Amino acid sequence: MNAPTLGKPLDRVDGPLKVSGQARYAAEYPADDLLHGSVICSVIARGRITRIDASAAEALPGVKRVLSHESRPPMAQDDESYEDDDAADGSPFRPLFNARVRYSGQPVALVVADSLELARHAASLVRIEYQQQPHATDLLQVLDSAHAAPAELPERRGDADAIIAGAPLRLELEYELPNEYHHPMEPHASTVIFQADGSLLVHDKTQGPQNSQQYLASVLKLDPARVRILSSFVGGAFGSGLRPQYQLPLAAMAALTLQQSVRVTLTRQQMFTFGYRPRTVQRLQLGAAADGRLQGLVHEVIGQTSRFEDFTEHVAEWSGMLYHCDHLRLAYRLAPLDVYTPLDMRAPGAATGLFALESAMDELAWAAGVDPVQLRLTNYAETNQNEGKPYSSKELRACYQQGADAFGWSKRSPQPRSMRVGDQLIGYGMATGVWEAMQMPASARATLTADGRLIVASATCDIGPGTATVMTQIAADTLGMDPARVEFRLGDSSLPKAPLQGGSFTVSSVGSAVREACLALAEQLCDAARQLPGAPFSDASALRFAGGRVQQGEDTERSVDLDTLLARHGSLEAEVQAQPGKLRERYASATHSAVFVEVQVDEALGTVRVTRVVSAIAAGRVINAKTARSQILGGVVWGIGMALHEEAMIDHELGRCMNHNLADYHLPVHADIGDIEVIFVDEDDPIVNPLGSKGVGEIGIVGVAAAVANAVYHATGKRIRQLPITLDKLL
């Protein structure tokens, strides 16, 4: 029998393809007579197109077409809805729909030519005239015009305002976060291969092949059966591929118009012309007893959105569940601007809301004269008060303990500016992280081939966390097979239905479907064994499949091996849909973390360096310790970038992002990152799903920015409530 594979640090099954350059991404697939498209983007933030002169471009040999709202193929009308699993409330933007300009950077034309170089040159020759209208892109200037967000907030508890007014300790705080952009390594691209029968085979950068399929079919009025989306490899996404981006319909429109294959790849600058983590202003009021015990809490959020859609996140809800507080009021409003709609970005809402909440809890700890870890233990929530439910599991106390021990938190000198090495002020900070542990309906198909290989398939994709590897482990473990004999197929809209890859629910959702499909196969094998002439069973009702054979209970002597069964029956196949279990409806489920950070701040220069991080995670059963650790490492790095580097600089006179490249849009590099230790706390959860897994994709970033900011305060005595923390703010 093969050793269990769950929890083992199995190497990535697609690793050799990636490191050898054999893995192909959306813009790397060849096609006969492939054309290339170059997108022209609006230079104004609001108004109308009055004239498009493409004559100079179209006169160039090799330029096939200039598509605009005046020359595009038919598209679904404004009032016709279409399928998009991550759409915001409102009227979704559709490229080249009409002459209206809604935001700076909006795609207004597509030049299609024999080569990318020619297409880009021709695009520079297209002349577009606009009628410009006044625009607004600064959230701080429109706060008073914000309206209630179409989001379900937990009902208020008690009378938070009155309780806070009479509390021994009262804090009123405001925090601000800028726009941030996803910037995966692979820019968004679509290669649309026009088939002889008029159907489309599309290689798309997406977090949901079936979502892209439904989008194209609906918007361009196509039969879904004639659109197939492939996304075998995705070079990162972080939420940017949850909604189909505009290169997909543009490439498809060009292919349908010219009846020829077309590729459209966005430039790095154009990666700043769609979704992003929205700028927010958060106001918190905390009322507490002298020992820091929360008595009342108010968390009010104003976030930006576009004028045509209301984008919402779960920003404030965490304040109602992470700590026990009987008097609570949450509010969430949106301010429409002449910008594109924001989009989910790693740990959407939680990374934003927890920065404010965990910074405020640190400020409360200082006000009460209580150690920040002790303050969190004092306010520990045994239940989720938002839902009025107990947790399926919660080992957050162990996260605090193990994280603090590994970090050396007890060595912290309590007073700000009291720790230094030479010219460097030393600061310790910590924060809590939380993310909902979700499960979505998902399907999978498992096939045992005649030669004894197991092929499992689902229409999920892999944006980098190691999905194919983990699903291979789940399938191999369920049937007791060698992972080398298992193949997981994904990234194809024609495969069994799967949800978008996001929200840290892929393993719990698709993994549960893979497990159930393999269990169904095991049952078929047992049925086949019962029918086998001369089978060595005395009790055929006690058969089970394990270790590559059907055996009677634990009796390996009374068994039939897999090869014998397959020789008689040929291949076997099972397809199932997995649903969240009814039992979990009675519980709240969440992943938790405790993040500890050490910073060094140069007293003369104001520069900040994160020298050490310890992140202790309680995420149920960790399926692959290696890939899970990598997810947390990436999240911590991003959290450091969020705290110290990332900020979209908007010129509000132009309504445009000015640092729209990776030289001026600052991100952490290797030299910015010190030691990172990841601890996975043991957490058994038989309720959340049969695998006991909660997911780790989002939790790694949550709380990191707050922990860094809290450490900066401990080092300097200066509280920075506006991210990123740059030297000008410290000095």
CATH of the domain at 219: 3.90.1170.50
Residue 704 near residue 597, CB atoms below 8 Å = yes
**695 band by pLDDT with thresholds 50, 70 and 90:** very high
The three-class DSSP label of residue 626 is helix
Beta carbons within 10 angstroms of residue 604's beta carbon: 7
* Mean pLDDT score, 47-56: 98
User: For position 562, what pLDDT does the model report?
Assistant: 87
Name the active-site residue from 309, 363, 598, 698.
Answer: 698
- Could you tell me if 552 and 604 lie in one domain? no
The number of distinct structural domains making up the chain is 3
Share of the chain above pLDDT 90, in %: 90
Helix, strand, coil content of the chain in percent (nearest 5): 30, 30, 45
User: Has residue 319 been placed in a domain?
Assistant: yes
User: Has residue 30 been placed in a domain?
Assistant: no
- Could you tell me if 68 and 84 lie in one domain? yes
- Could you tell me if 327 and 348 lie in one domain? yes
579, 598, 613 - which closes a domain: 579
Burial profile 376-396: b = 16 or more Cβ within 10 angstroms, e = fewer: bebbebeebbbeebebbbbbb
Question: Could you tell me whether strands 262-265 and 35-41 are parallel, antiparallel, or unpaired per DSSP bridges?
Answer: parallel
Task: Summarize pLDDT for 380-392 with one digit per residue, the tens.
Answer: 999 999 999 999 9
**79 band by pLDDT with thresholds 50, 70 and 90:** very low
- Could you tell me if 203 and 303 lie in one domain? no
Q: How far, in Å, CA of 712 to CA of 453, rounded?
A: 55
- Could you tell me if 434 and 478 lie in one domain? no
Residue that the structure tokens 């405001």 belong to: 174
Residue 700 near residue 636, CB atoms below 8 Å = yes
Q: How many residues does the chain have?
A: 731
**Domain at 498, CATH number:** 3.30.365.10
User: Has residue 711 been placed in a domain?
Assistant: yes
- Could you tell me if 341 and 299 lie in one domain? yes
User: Has residue 153 been placed in a domain?
Assistant: no
- Could you tell me if 447 and 495 lie in one domain? yes
User: Has residue 155 been placed in a domain?
Assistant: no
Task: Summarize pLDDT for 313-343 with one digit per residue, the tens.
Answer: 999 999 999 999 999 999 999 999 999 999 9
- Could you tell me if 383 and 431 lie in one domain? yes
Q: How far, in Å, CA of 517 to CA of 625, rounded?
A: 24
User: Has residue 493 been placed in a domain?
Assistant: yes
- Could you tell me if 359 and 477 lie in one domain? no
Give the sign of the dihedral formed by CA 100, CA 102, CA 104, CA 107. Answer: negative
Cα 390 to the center of its chain, rounded Å: 26
**77 band by pLDDT with thresholds 50, 70 and 90:** low
Give yes or no for residue 80 having a pLDDT over 70.
Answer: no
User: Has residue 139 been placed in a domain?
Assistant: no
Domain of residue 526, residue span: 14-21+440-579
- Could you tell me if 471 and 358 lie in one domain? no
> Is the link from the previous residue into 95 a cis peptide, with omega within 30 of 0?
no
The three-class DSSP label of residue 259 is coil
* Mean pLDDT score, 23-46: 98
Give yes or no for residue 589 having a pLDDT over 60.
Answer: yes
579, 605, 634 - which closes a domain: 579
Give yes or no for residue 347 having a pLDDT over 80.
Answer: yes
The DSSP code for 361 is H
Give yes or no for residue 184 having a pLDDT over 70.
Answer: yes
683 is a catalytic site residue = no
- Could you tell me if 606 and 670 lie in one domain? yes
User: What does the mean pLDDT of the chain come to?
Assistant: 95
- Could you tell me if 286 and 412 lie in one domain? yes
Is pLDDT larger for residue 558 or for residue 120?
Answer: 120
The DSSP code for 724 is S
Query: Identity (one letter) of the amino acid at 405?
Result: D
Cα 553 to the center of its chain, rounded Å: 43
Give yes or no for residue 272 having a pLDDT over 70.
Answer: yes
CB hemisphere CA count around 240 (13 angstroms): 27
Question: Could you tell me whether strands 227-230 and 262-265 are parallel, antiparallel, or unpaired per DSSP bridges?
Answer: unpaired
Task: Summarize pLDDT for 112-146 with one digit per residue, the tens.
Answer: 999 999 999 999 999 999 999 999 999 999 999 99
User: For position 539, what pLDDT does the model report?
Assistant: 86
Q: How far, in Å, CA of 226 to CA of 256, rounded?
A: 12
Q: How far, in Å, CA of 39 to CA of 682, rounded?
A: 50
Q: Among the listed ranges 261-275, 306-320, 564-578, 712-726, which one has the minimum average pLDDT value?
A: 564-578
579, 600, 635 - which closes a domain: 579
Beta carbons within 10 angstroms of residue 191's beta carbon: 27
Give yes or no for residue 257 having a pLDDT over 50.
Answer: yes
User: Has residue 574 been placed in a domain?
Assistant: yes
User: For position 568, what pLDDT does the model report?
Assistant: 83
